[in-house]
Amino acid sequence: MTTKRREFKCELEDSRLADQVGICRETVNAFEAGRGGDVEIRKVLKIADYLGF
């Protein structure tokens, strides 16, 4: 399941996910857009942990 699908399933918006994880909305958007290379690994791990991966 992709991040965007998982996020939709949890009914989270970019801004809410960012607030809950403690990162900026732009980071969430970059990750969703497949620009993971632009996102620090610790931030990716925070998102994954929050979403239950």
Q: pLDDT, tens digit, for every residue of 11-49?
A: 678 888 899 999 998 888 888 888 877 778 898 888 889
For the CA atoms of 44, 25, 15, 22, the dihedral, rounded to the nearest 10 degrees, stands at: 50
Let me know: does 7 contact 47? Beta carbons within 8 Å: no
For the chain, what is the domain count? Answer: 1
Residue 1 has pLDDT above 60, yes or no: no
CB neighbour class for 17 (10 Å; exposed up to 12, middle 13-18, buried from 19): buried
Q: What is the pTM of this model?
A: 0.64
pLDDT (0 to 100) of residue 19: 92
- Find the DSSP H helices in 1-53: 3-9, 14-21, 25-32, 41-51
Range of the domain at 34: 3-51
Rounded distance between C-alpha atoms, residue 33 and residue 21, angstroms: 18
